[in-house]
A and B are shown apart, each in its own frame.
Chain A
Amino acid sequence: MDEHEHPHVATVGSYVVIFLILVALTVLTVFTALSPLGHWHAPVALGIAVVKATLVFLFFMHLLHSPKLTWLVAGGTFVWLGIMFALTLADYWSRGIVGRYQ
């Protein structure tokens, strides 16, 4: 809605639905933490967190109906965060491979 005079107004019902989904995902993440998932605990818990965060971004923070420039800025966040995580972990997680760690 680039610079239109009237913003997109979501219905109260749609906010209720998003809120209930977020609560359900919170309950789900507690149950998965108590389940025998072995090595899958971290990926599942973080995956659920990413879904919850995406719902908050898109609907509560109105990203879905924001101009493309806002999408670019919001997306840029993850580019910078990705660079920080990728380069740092590439160092720490490769030290055992070259046999000089521990």
Chain B
Amino acid sequence: MATVPLAHHFRTPAQQHHAALLGMWMFLITEVLLFGAVFLGYVVYRANPALHGGFVAASEHLGQSVFGFEHVPFLGAFNTVILLGSSFTMALAVRAAQVGNQSSLVRNLGLTMILGTIFLGIKAYEYHHDWDIGLIPGFKFDKAAWAGTGVDARHVELFFVFYFVLTGLHAIHMFIGMGLLGVLWVRSRMGRFGREYYTPIELAGLYWHFVDVVWIFLYPLLYLIRH
């Protein structure tokens, strides 16, 4: 059965396991503060009455016309469910490792990666759409489209700066998570994890769930709050 050497400063493998989990939680605090700072910047501008109209008009553009839904942020909602599903399969993967179910572990890690890929694919489609209609600040922003709408194009552009920094930072974390899961999927197939040792699986799970939590806040803040 798969085990790992016990470092000399730990008394038991269980203690070593808990220390690793605690370290991961510490790392996640720093991640909360990273995303939190950008969230805070968004809130400060969003709460400014002078910019409110521009931000609301910009947010309306995130509800692309898909399947006949004109202003419902359907893709964002669909992606939220996809990401929640990937957290669900990740939780099942950790459970499979806990009970030593090898085939379930490999299958659920694979499903998590597939759902993560679908999420990133939809995100790429949304970005592509934003590029097409000129919503990329600094690179391809169609200021003329906002003339005569009563909305200051600069405020719309500022909203999209926050949109791309926040969702881009989130997408980078998704790519890192996918890389971690890929390595763990291969190592799981090689039989490196079991009831006695599955610390890396649980650590990757904590990271993956954290990235899910970030999206849980991004979705309403960017896509839904339009009033």
Contacts and interface: CB of A to CB of B under 8 A. Distances in A.
B99 interface: yes
Interface string B190-227: 00000000000010011001101100110111001111
Interface residues of A, number: 54
Given A3-B18, A57-B213, A77-B29, A15 B95 contact: yes
Interface residues on B, range: 35 or more
Interface of chain B, main secondary structure:
helix
Given A30-B72, A33-B220, A49-B220, A15 B91 contact: yes
A29 B84 CA distance: 14
Contact of B29 (A7, A12, A30, A73): A73
Contacts of A9: 95, 98-99
Contact of B225 (A42, A77, A88): A42
Interface of chain A, main secondary structure:
helix
A74 B87 CA distance: 19
A98 interface: no
Nearest to B50: A102
B186 interface: no
Nearest to B41: A88
A5 B206 contact: no
A56 B209 contact: yes
B84 A76 contact: no
Interface of A: 2-5, 7, 9-10, 12, 15-16, 18-19, 22-23, 26-27, 29-30, 33-34, 37-39, 41-42, 45-46, 48-49, 52-53, 56-57, 59-62, 66-67, 69-70, 73-74, 76-77, 80-81, 84-85, 88-89, 92-93, 102
7 contacts: A19-B85, A26-B84, A60-B212, A62-B202, A70-B22, A80-B29, A84-B33
